[in-house]
Amino acid sequence: MDRLIFLTLDGLSRGAVYAAFALALVLIWRAARVVNFAQGAMAVAAAYVAYSVTAATGSYWLGFLAALAAGLLLGAVVDRVVMRHVNHASPLNPVIVALELVLLIQAVLGMIYGSQFRPAEVPFSRSAFTVGGLTVLSPYDLFVFAAVGVVVSALAWIFARTAVGLRMRAAAFAPEVSRLLGVNVGGMLTLGWALASGVGALAAMLVIPTELGLHPHAMDLVFVSAFTAAVVGGLDSPPGAVVGGLAVGLLLSYVSGYAGSDLTPLAVLVLLLAVLLVRPGGLFSTVAARRV
């Protein structure tokens, strides 16, 4: 029983990060109809910026802010310099270009930092409190929950309550009409990429210290897990991404706790296939007509 509670809490903490990362994927999918396969590599690049800043200044928080800023900037640059110019007539093209970006970013990171694992700092202790003999969350887990909670609510507020959010939704939903009504559609798209990439950078900052450490490939498996989370929730639904993220986190925690951590990649693949084959639109989808 103790173990179950521990694994549940641990899974929720892991799931919160997947939720944030999945949310970033959903943001770009909704805005540009592109699954950003370069998201993991972009987030790792931001985490390396944090590593450099922290190493130079000695302050975790300066590094943290630098990572978020780098994430926002990288998202905008990727949209403006690369994605904007890709021919979207075939859905394969943006995927291929995103994968090329993965190669490029990982190669550049490898050239600058080398490919050994670097330890990532944490701002709070990762040793868990014990309450009445039960091992529960660590301060770091609470920090993860708080950070993800703040970001998710902030995004919800931006999209539901602000004029910019309304413009972004309009630009994604009906680009032509929005353009006629004076919305800067291109700008909104760039903003969407920047926001998503910033959220991805945050997720990388939160998840990398809990895994092996900083490495150009550190987010590969996290990306697949987050993609699974986004698919579980239906690629179109931000609340679905959050729920999907928590569900994937729980599943992975149980699998690694009860069956061995070697099996977690396999569990992700099985879950992804199962969801796609049984409910391709995700668990939260409404019935959608296939476009002919």
Contact present, 215 and 48 (Cβ < 8 Å)? no
Which window, 61-69, 123-131, 250-258, 273-281, contacts another protein (CB under 8 A)?
A: 273-281
- Taking the C-alpha atoms of residue 184 and residue 290, their distance in angstroms, rounded to an integer, is 30
273 binds another protein (CB under 8 A): yes
Listed residue (214, 190, 212, 188) closest to 201, CA to CA: 214
Given candidates 157, 160, 177, 280, which one binds another protein under the rule CB under 8 A? Answer: 280
Q: At what angle do helices 139-161 and 185-207 cross, to 10 degrees?
A: 170
Candidate list 4, 55, 56, 104; residue touching another protein; CB under 8 A: 104
86 touching another protein, by CB under 8 A: yes
Q: How far is the CB of 124 from another protein (least distance, A)?
A: 30
**In sequence order, which residues have a C-beta less than 8 Å from that of residue 113 and are 6 or more positions away?**
48, 51, 214, 216
Alpha carbon distance 74, 227 (integer Å): 20
By CB atoms closer than 10 A (0-12, 13-18, 19+), residue 145 is middle
- Using the rule CB under 8 A, is 93 a contact of another protein? yes
Q: Which stretch binds another protein (CB under 8 A): 85-93, 133-141, 177-185, 244-252?
A: 85-93
Please state the closest distance from residue 44 (CB atom) to another protein, in A: 13
Residue-level length of the chain: 292
Buried b (16+ CB within 10 A) or exposed e, 274-283: ebeeeeebbb
Stretch that binds another protein, among 42-50, 159-167, 190-198, 213-221 (CB under 8 A): 213-221
Ranges within 220-239 binding another protein (CB under 8 A)? 220-221, 223-224, 227-228, 231, 235
Tell me the site size for another protein, rule CB under 8 A.
Answer: 52
| Site of interaction with another protein (CB under 8 A) | 29, 34-35, 37, 82, 85-87, 89-93, 95-97, 99-108, 110-112, 114-115, 217, 220-221, 223-224, 227-228, 231, 235, 262-263, 265-266, 268-269, 272-273, 276-277, 280, 292
